């Protein structure tokens, strides 16, 4: 890993650092693992998405950012914008940890837009003279594209009835009131969600109490991070990232997971009544801290991004190059037959460049690509009566090496992904494969590959599996076998600006 000393971990971005970071970016940009259609850090480390909203005819996405290396140092917010959730432009740093209550970083939060103004609620990571953490929930605004203003006083001060772990405010407007849902840990070290309300974004936030989730009276693990509440159709959806959830057969196998519950939210009684059990949002290896856009021009779905990573995981190939992290491809959330479906955001077809080939009924496809697996591609597999699938991406040869393996057998209805055969191994203590039983069988699969990422949308979004991979130069082949399957592969156009922008023009 690129080393960052303890002093540099506390370093805040200054304009005088620009030339240094431009040189760092020039080196990073040469990496074969840089993405072409995923948002990625201009330098350093990226983690949680923040402040996701729509305002002034643009989508605004912010993310947790440490500019000076692939470590969780002093957190800033970085800003990117998009007209369509496909094409993204770097805009520069948004929030710098300059205030008293953010002396240890501008931590995660959310946004809500009204008129031409975006309002941010975020956690100020404040430590007193004894290094005791006292988290405050802070307010900032964005006028236009570049004028950031921070409120003088916190929106919410630390709640002394809970531990120091209070963070990640999600601000929403419901009817004529504003609510903040806050991840927290109670004194029994259980993960809970706190609820605050006000009739004004700017002031007078009152603590209503804990959100009671029926069937989960003992909380969720030891901490809840990144709570989110969405109205999708007639259903309320509670999304969050609990820490300390035990694995259960094929589920919850990552160190930390992100989950959802579909049900009914009653704000008068602060009760959420689930329709069914807690479900993982993503059944792959690398997914955490999802956030839905607070303003949404689409009435038929919610819009979600997430960190393409997991806390405490390491990603040595890019860590050694001095950068870490990406955002997932943006997803649309809908509910069908009582289940949450996730699909690539509409308009993704604009990414498709050339159809490289089609293959039918499991024919061998390696020869058609002259042995080359495209580093960036979209793959579509479909057949309503699939018997089996054996797809190997980024393998080293035709016969033995499996690369990143995707397999399915109709007899067992088991879908499996396995990255154990790749040269660069990642976080193997949490397993090298993931499996799902597809009760209704396999009918389709959309696979998005972008140099160091794989996202698999199964059965039109019934399940999603996300994985980071770091194929070597020798791992460049593709092979497919199976019965009753059709496959198409497209190369892709780049859609994400990777310009080294660190400050907006008027900052």
The tens digit of pLDDT for each residue in 187-232 reads 999 999 999 999 999 999 999 999 999 999 999 999 999 999 999 9
Tell me how crowded residue 54 is: count the other CB atoms within 10 A of its CB.
20
In percent, how much of the chain has pLDDT > 90? 85
pLDDT of residue 357: 80
Q: Is the pLDDT of residue 1 over 70?
A: no
Q: Please compute the mean of the pLDDT values over residues 309-337 and round it to a whole number.
A: 97
CA dihedral 353, 468, 331, 490 (to 10 degrees): 20
- pLDDT reported for residue 362: 54
Q: Decide if 48 is inside a domain.
A: no
Tokens of 46: 């990226």
Alpha carbon 18 to chain centroid, angstroms: 27
Please tell me the distance from the alpha carbon of residue 18 to that of residue 14, in angstroms, as a whole number: 7
Q: Which two tokens stand for residue 344?
A: 């690539």
Section 20-32 average pLDDT: 97
With a cut of 80, say whether residue 26 has pLDDT above it. Answer: yes
Tens of pLDDT, residues 368-408 = 555 678 999 999 998 867 788 889 999 987 666 789 999 99
Q: Residue 393's domain spans which residues? A: 348-492
Stretch 312-328: mean pLDDT: 97
Residue 141: both structure tokens together:
């605004």
Task: Give the number of domains in the chain.
Answer: 1
Q: What is the pLDDT of residues 230-264, one digit of tens each?
A: 999 999 999 999 999 999 999 999 999 999 999 99
Q: 41 to each of 38, 63, 240, how far by Cα in Å?
A: 10, 9, 24
Q: What mean pLDDT is reported for the chain? A: 94
Task: Let me know if residue 210 belongs to a domain.
Answer: no
Residue 182, pLDDT score: 99
pLDDT in tens, 277-288: 999 999 999 999
pLDDT at 506: 75
Q: Is residue 372 part of a domain?
A: yes
Nearest of 462, 468, 420, 467 to residue 445 by alpha carbon:
462
Would 104 be classed as within a structural domain? no
3-state secondary structure at position 299: coil
Please check whether residue 79 is in contact with residue 96, taking contact to mean a CB–CB distance below 8 angstroms.
no
As a 3-state breakdown, the chain gives helix, strand, coil percent values, each rounded to 5, of 5, 50, 45
CATH number of the domain encompassing residue 437: 2.60.120.560
Q: CB 390: neighbour CB atoms within 10 A?
A: 17
Specify the length of the chain in residues.
Answer: 507
Give just the sign of the alpha carbon dihedral 38, 75, 92, 498: negative
Cβ atoms of 206 and 182 closer than 8 Å? no
| Per-residue pLDDT tens over the stretch 102-148 | 999 999 999 999 999 999 999 999 988 888 889 999 999 999 777 89
SS3 of 367, please? helix
476-503, pLDDT tens digit by residue? 988 887 777 888 999 999 999 999 999 9
pLDDT average, residue stretch 448-471: 98
Question: Among all residues, which ones are annotated catalytic?
Answer: 48
Q: Which two tokens stand for residue 380?
A: 């579509």
Residue 100 lies in a domain: no
The per-residue pLDDT for 364 is 54
Compute how many other C-beta atoms are within 10 angstroms of the C-beta atom of residue 372: 12
Mean pLDDT of 76-96: 98
Residue 457 lies in a domain: yes
Predicted confidence at residue 401, as pLDDT, reads 73
Contact 60, 54 (CB under 8 A): yes
CA distance 139 to 203: 10
Whether 132 is covered by a domain: the verdict is: no
What confidence tier does 52 reach under pLDDT thresholds 50, 70, 90? Answer: very high
Q: Answer whether residue 452 is part of any domain.
A: yes
- Return all residues near 240 (Cβ < 8 A) that are at least 6 apart: 183, 193, 220, 224, 225, 226, 227, 228, 258, 259, 260
């Amino acid at each position: 890993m690129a080393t960052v000393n303890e002093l540099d971990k506390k370093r805040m971005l200054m304009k005088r650092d620009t030339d240094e970071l431009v040189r760092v970016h020039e080196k990073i940009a040469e990496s074969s693992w840089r993405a072409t259609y995923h948002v990625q850090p201009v330098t350093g480390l990226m983690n949680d998405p923040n402040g996701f909203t729509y305002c002034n005819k643009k989508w605004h996405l912010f993310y947790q950012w440490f500019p000076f290396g692939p470590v969780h140092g002093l957190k800033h917010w970085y800003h990117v914008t998009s007209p369509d959730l496909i094409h993204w432009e770097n805009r520069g740093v948004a929030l710098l940890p300059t205030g008293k209550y953010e002396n240890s970083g501008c931590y995660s939060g959310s946004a809500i837009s009204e008129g031409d103004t975006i309002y941010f609620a975020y956690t100020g990571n404040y430590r007193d003279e004894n290094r005791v953490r006292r988290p405050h929930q802070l307010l900032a605004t964005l006028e236009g594209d570049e004028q950031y203003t921070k409120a003088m006083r916190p929106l919410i001060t630390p709640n002394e009835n809970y531990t120091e772990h209070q963070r990640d405010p999600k601000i929403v407007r419901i009817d004529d009131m504003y609510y903040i849902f806050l991840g927290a840990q109670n004194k029994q070290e259980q993960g809970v969600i706190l609820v605050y309300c006000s009739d004004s974004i700017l002031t007078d936030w009152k603590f209503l109490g804990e959100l009671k989730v029926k069937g989960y009276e003992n909380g969720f693990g030891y901490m809840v991070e990144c709570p989110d509440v969405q109205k999708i159709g007639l259903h309320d959806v509670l999304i969050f990232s609990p820490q300390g959830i035990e694995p259960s057969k094929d589920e919850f196998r990552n160190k930390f997971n992100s989950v959802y519950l579909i049900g009914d939210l009653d704000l008068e009684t602060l009760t959420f009544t689930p329709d069914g059990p807690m479900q993982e949002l993503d059944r792959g290896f690398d997914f955490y801290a999802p956030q839905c856009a607070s303003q949404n021009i689409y009435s038929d779905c919610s819009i979600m991004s997430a960190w393409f990573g997991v806390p405490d995981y390491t990603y040595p190939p890019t860590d050694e190059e001095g950068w870490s992290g990406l955002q997932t491809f943006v997803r649309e959330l809908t509910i069908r037959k009582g289940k949450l479906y996730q699909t690539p955001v509409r308009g993704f077809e604009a990414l498709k460049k050339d159809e490289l080939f089609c293959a039918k009924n499991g024919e061998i496809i390696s020869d058609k690509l002259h042995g080359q697996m495209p580093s960036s591609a979209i793959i579509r597999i479909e057949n309503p009566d699939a018997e089996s699938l054996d797809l190997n991406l980024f393998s080293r040869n035709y016969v033995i090496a499996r690369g990143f393996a995707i397999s399915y057998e109709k007899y067992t209805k088991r879908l499996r992904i396995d990255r154990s055969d790749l040269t660069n191994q990642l976080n193997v203590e949490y397993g090298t494969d993931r499996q799902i039983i597809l009760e209704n069988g396999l009918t389709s699969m959309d696979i998005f590959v972008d140099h160091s990422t794989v996202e698999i949308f199964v059965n039109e979004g019934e399940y999603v599996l996300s994985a980071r991979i770091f194929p070597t130069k020798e791992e460049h082949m593709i092979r497919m076998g199976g019965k009753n399957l059709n496959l198409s592969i497209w190369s892709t156009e780049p859609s994400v600006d990777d310009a080294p922008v660190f400050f907006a023009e008027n900052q």
